[in-house]
A and B are shown apart, each in its own frame.
Chain A
Amino acid sequence: DTGVSQNPRHKITKRGQNVTFRCDPISEHNRLYWYRQTLGQGPEFLTYFQNEAQLEKSRLLSDRFSAERPKGSFSTLEIQRTEQGDSAMYLCASSPWGSGDYEQYFGPGTRLTVT
């Protein structure tokens, strides 16, 4: 069990560019969550998957954000036409929902800086 991994760890991009982040959950974890965290705030829910199905997406999430989890394994989060307000730490978490283990295991995050 190697834990949740996220790539890249840091991303600097210019406003208007598209970026894509990847999350590899703990193997056999069927739930995968994406959060965004800015300085001094708690993680903010973005979306989550049960296997390959996207079950919920935050109403606060712009149409510029899209996430996928093909085949129910790794997940990608894409932000199109980035804005300076998108600068944040993007966290991914996975959990073995249904097993009695309620813990969400967080990855180290991808820090996005939009210039």
Chain B
Amino acid sequence: QQPVQSPQAVILREGEDAVINCSSSKALYSVHWYRQKHGEAPVFLMILLKGGEQKGHEKISASFNEKKQQSSLYLTASQLSYSGTYFCGTESAYSGAGSYQLTFGKGTKLSVIP
């Protein structure tokens, strides 16, 4: 079942902060965050694993609430380069831990303006 992302779209001025949320109705093993710019392939940002392990790019932070099956991506001091569509991909706790077979949400379109 597809995770639900919110908001669907957000417009920021450079330097402002944003939070993107991802919620699943299923128990999760991991949550992956990707950013996709128009006409390009998705690019990895971060993975959050059940149990607290996180790996990702330095300037990106995120959280994973295992009890609520929710994850949030925090974008601080936004830059023009942050513009794009952000997708969360979830891995079910029942799919075989570590398969990284992902179900992606519909995405959150972020636009950063000067």
A-side interface residues toward B, CB under 8 Å?
Answer: 4, 31, 33, 40-45, 48, 55-56, 91, 95, 97, 102-109
Given contacts A48-B101, A55-B99, contact A105 B44 (CB under 8 A): yes
Question: Interface residue tally of chain B, by bracket?
Answer: 20 to 34
**Residues of chain B at the chain A interface (Cβ within 8 Å):** 2, 30, 32, 40-44, 47, 55, 87, 89, 95, 98-107
Interface pair A45/B43, CB less than 8 Å apart: no
Q: Is the CB of A56 within 8 A of B101?
A: yes
Majority-rule SS of B interface residues: loop
Q: Which residue on A lies nearest to B44, using beta carbons?
A: A103
A42-B87, A42-B106 known; A104-B41 Cβ under 8 A: no
A95 to B102, CA, bound (A): 13
Which chain B residues border A4 with CB–CB below 8 Å? 41
